[in-house]
Amino acid sequence: MAPTSASAFEYAPAPESRSVVDIAPSYGLFIDGEFTEAADGKVFKTVSPSTEEVLSEIAQAGEADVDRAVQAARKAFEKWSALPGSERAKYLFRIARIIQERSRELAVLETLDNGKPIKETRDADLPLVAAHFFYYAGWADKLEYAGFGRRTTNGHSGANPQPLGVAGQVIPWNFPLLMLAWKIAPALATGNTVVLKPAETTPLSALFFADICRQAGLPKGVVNILPGYGDSGAALVAHPDVNKVAFTGSTAVGKEIARTVAGTRKKVTLELGGKGANIVFDDAPIDQAVEGIVTGIFFNQGQVCCAGSRLLVQESIQDELLDSLKRRLSTLRLGDPLDKNTDIGAINSAEQLARITTLVEQGEAEGAERWSPSCELPSSGYWFAPTLFTNVTQAHTIARDEIFGPVLSVLTFRTPEEAVAKANNSQYGLSAGIWTEKGSRILAVASKLRAGVIWSNTFNKFDPTSPFGGYKESGYGREGGRHGLEAYLDV
């Protein structure tokens, strides 16, 4: 429902049709080019977060299934890695085009299974998914020019980069199809084969991607999809015949993975939690900054690892900025994610909603001042109103811990040096934003921020050509761009 205050007019419902996607009552694991039941027959249900409706029953991978999938990937690796890069590129280009052709179907599917608004899956997620496959298709026959290792006089890399083998990949539920693209596209372009475990709350788009692989004629075993719970992911990470582990998710699980692979020869990339600082200086264009703040923390209900969840605003403009921000939040529309007018969709799961609720209550108990626009939450599904906290200090739990929800903590600063010190005072280092009209200030502040990606006068903008990753407890390694190739190559 749209917030009732400050509404100049009501929007008529504009729901996207569910008829464009045909969800089967049950799905198997995708191993060696075929859908198959789990070895132990276990299944689980995936539900729509906005209605709690059961969407489908999914086979649950166990240790025996992981072993079967890794064996299939190992067998396929021999022929796949031997293909010329130009031939691998043809498959990636084909996958990218099919994704574009089926983008409306996939956007509706993602919204149903994840809970995010259709305008985000349609206008952000799906175009980026296709773009990643197009981008890495272009790299497949150019790896020797990528610049890894020693350079020779003819411009080639002296390292002669080779694929690693089987990549075990574990992805989260907040961007199911996009995180799949970030993982699978560079792996295939570099000649590796893949076993991927999607999150248990959002398995459907990965299973639909398995069908796209078949539609594209991808050789059997090159991509294997294993829905399941944490034990499935742990078995995949620990499997002795996996050469590369890629994980996006929580810092706690990332640490567990790092311990598991320690002492092995496995290459690892970890993209973990964040507590991004969005810094607004007194010369920033207020209206533009407010839009960037909203994008930074309320995009995908704040369920974004690089969300700008800490707003650092220069003290002299705090009142003006907060007044404008509150007016803007009062116009956000919360409700049916399939409605094209919806700005704020559902939280992904009951478990995640409980975590957000607990941390927000802790923020209030510690003395921070909570504010939300007046809005009616639907009676079924998992919902949380957009929320901001003022009177926040760096000692507050809500300023330190990743909430992973539509919750913004507002802090103030007086000087650029104080802004940098507060921004860097975090166990995380994934993202930051800087808002100012002075280019020199952007460069000076950015050079001192310990964050993997820094946006200037914008936020949450992504491009497949640009590397993404963090420092400190936000993980290590980079995905995207030329840098994203190195993690899948022996250089």
**CA-based nearest residue to 113, from 201, 29, 181, 178:** 201
User: Chain centroid to CA 465: how far?
Assistant: 16
What SS3 string covers 394-407? Answer: CCCHHHHCCCCCCE
**CA-based nearest residue to 62, from 227, 216, 222:** 227
H runs (alpha helix) in 330-488: 350-365, 397-400, 416-424, 439-446, 483-486
**CA-based nearest residue to 21, from 90, 102, 122:** 102
Rg (CA), the chain: 22
Strand partners for 412:
313
Sign, Cα dihedral of 138, 94, 27, 302? positive
- For residue 339, the 8-state DSSP code is B
The first and second tokens of residue 209, run together, are 């991607």
**CA-based nearest residue to 254, from 470, 487, 484:** 470
The first and second tokens of residue 478, run together, are 């980079």
At residue 112, what is the residue type?
Answer: L
Catalytic residues: 271, 305
CA distance from start to end of the chain: 53
